[in-house]
Amino acid sequence: MCMDIFVPGITEPSQASDSDLWFVFNADRLLVIGEGESARVPSRGELEELGVAAGRCRHYLGRLGERDCFTAAFEASPELPERAEWQGLRRLFGRIDETVLAIAGRAVQIIEWDDTHRYCGRCGSATGLKQGERARVCPDCGLAGYPCLSPAVMGLVRRGRELLLARSPHFPEGMYSALAGFVEPGETLEQTLQREVREEVGVEITNLRYFDSQPWPFPHSLMIAFVADYVSGEIVPQPGEIEAADWFGIDRLPRLPHPFSIARRLIDETVASIAKSIA
């Protein structure tokens, strides 16, 4: 596990190093070097050896320990050596260091933002990068475009020793998770969670307690997690949104999300808290 601290940055250092880390993307797939079951991001020197030229949307990300981090979109598609591969970030869960994976999540969102904000949404003029700030600004009308961020609220509903878990149609087979949904204009986080739980499973909740948050680059979310208590209502899954939902005792949980996700940490820590209270 990486013990280095990542310090975000915008201004690129004056001197490059072969040890710099490069987060290079082809669409939403990251270039990594495979090392058995694990993988890592290439350095600047290794990138040159692979014959990959960092092209458009080139940005400085910050510093991880003593190494500067950069990202860029990939222009062409050379033949890669057997040890190098393009991988979606979800497929790298458990294969790559979690700190590095979090930086990759930041990087892919910056790439996507830069690629989709090259022209002003108000007047159509070409935009330019703003000095000292992560923004693209229109030189004609002054409109500034910042990286997109969509807050989403997740809630784990408790009923005594049971947890309300549900599955979306696009989940892997047999996997259940906590309920979640995006914040709408004019809503508080608490109002969002109450509405989403009501809409998705027909249940009323109370006593919302903040748990934690996690950036989630699929595509550009910020997950904000809560624990809540059940008040009333019978489970009625929302057609098209919820494939199945049920109450699960802590001793008979279904397949759960990957440990890297905040959903899994939310479930694991709540289960541990319930188990401790009844021990």
Bind-site residues for a divalent metal cation: 180, 196, 200, 241
Q: How far apart are the first and last CA of the chain?
A: 33
Which residues does the annotation place in the binding site for substrate?
90, 133, 146, 214-221, 263
Which residues does the annotation place in the binding site?
90, 120, 123, 133, 138, 141, 146, 180, 196, 200, 214-221, 241, 263
What is the spatial distance between Cα 25 and Cα 74, in angstroms, rounded to a whole number?
6
Residue 146 CB neighbour total at 10 angstroms: 12
Quick one: 124 exposed, middle or buried, by C-beta within 10 A (0-12, 13-18, 19+)?
Answer: exposed
Which residues does the annotation place in the binding site for Zn(2+)?
120, 123, 138, 141
What is the spatial distance between Cα 225 and Cα 243, in angstroms, rounded to a whole number?
22
| CB neighbour list of residue 55: distance below 8 Å, 6 or more residues apart | 72, 73, 74, 75, 76
Quick one: 240 exposed, middle or buried, by C-beta within 10 A (0-12, 13-18, 19+)?
Answer: exposed
